[in-house]
Amino acid sequence: MTGLLTTLISDAGGYLIAAGVGILTIIATYLRGRASGAQRERDRQVAKERDSYARHIEDIELAATAGRAVRPDDGGMQSDPNNRDNAR
């Protein structure tokens, strides 16, 4: 009887160890997935900010170009009948 109990406990011990390893594997996989998901979200946010900054710089360049395109002395602003833009 003692031999039978010892055999059952030792076999159950192996199953318990295997179950413990399985649970730890599942937990490790879950945590690794969460970490990679967080990293992917951070990368997505950085790319979004980079695109936004590039559009901002492009808008500044367009505004600077538009400012140089119209000068008060080129005749375009002189066509105002009330001369509001060229108050001296």
Confidence of residue 15 (pLDDT cuts 50, 70, 90): confident
φ/ψ of residue 87, rounded to 5 = -65, 130
Half-sphere exposure of 1 (CA within 13 A, CB side): 0
What is the predicted pLDDT for the residue at 69? 61
77 contacts 70 by C-beta, under 8 angstroms: yes
Q: Is residue 53 part of a domain?
A: yes
Q: Is residue 56 part of a domain?
A: yes
> Above 70 in pLDDT, residue 25?
yes
What is the predicted pLDDT for the residue at 28? 94
Query: What is the residue range of 30's domain?
Result: 20-66
Tokens representing 52 are 């936004």
Quote the mean pLDDT of the chain.
Answer: 78
Q: Which amino acid is at 12?
A: A
What domain count does the chain have?
1
> Above 70 in pLDDT, residue 85?
no
Predicted confidence (pLDDT) per residue in 42-72, tens digit: 999 999 999 999 999 999 888 877 766 665 5
